[in-house]
Amino acid sequence: MKVIFVKDFKKQAKKGEIQEVKDGYAQNYLIKNGYAVAYTEKNLKLVEKERQEKMEEEKQLSLEAEKLKQELEKLTLVFKVKTGEKDRVFGSISVKQIKEELGKKGFSFDKKQIELITFLQSLGFHKVHIHLYKDIVAELKVQLVK
pLDDT tens digits for range 1-26: 999 999 998 888 998 899 999 999 99
pLDDT of residue 28 exceeding 90: yes
Show the beta-strand stretches assigned E in 21-99: 36-38, 76-80, 88-93
What pLDDT shows up at residue 84? 84
What pLDDT shows up at residue 90? 87
What pLDDT shows up at residue 30? 93
Domains in the chain, start-ordered, CATH in brackets?
A: 2-62 (3.40.5.10), 64-145 (3.10.430.100)
What pLDDT shows up at residue 92? 87
pLDDT of residue 96 exceeding 90: yes
pLDDT of residue 118 exceeding 90: no
Min mean pLDDT across 18-22, 64-68, 90-94, 98-102 is at 90-94
- Enumerate the β-bridge partners of residue 120: 93
Q: Which three-class secondary structure state does DSSP give residue 131?
A: strand
Show the beta-strand stretches assigned E in the chain: 2-5, 18-20, 36-38, 76-80, 88-93, 114-116, 120-122, 124-133, 136-145
pLDDT tens digits for range 39-89: 999 999 998 998 899 999 999 999 999 999 999 999 999 999 988 888 888
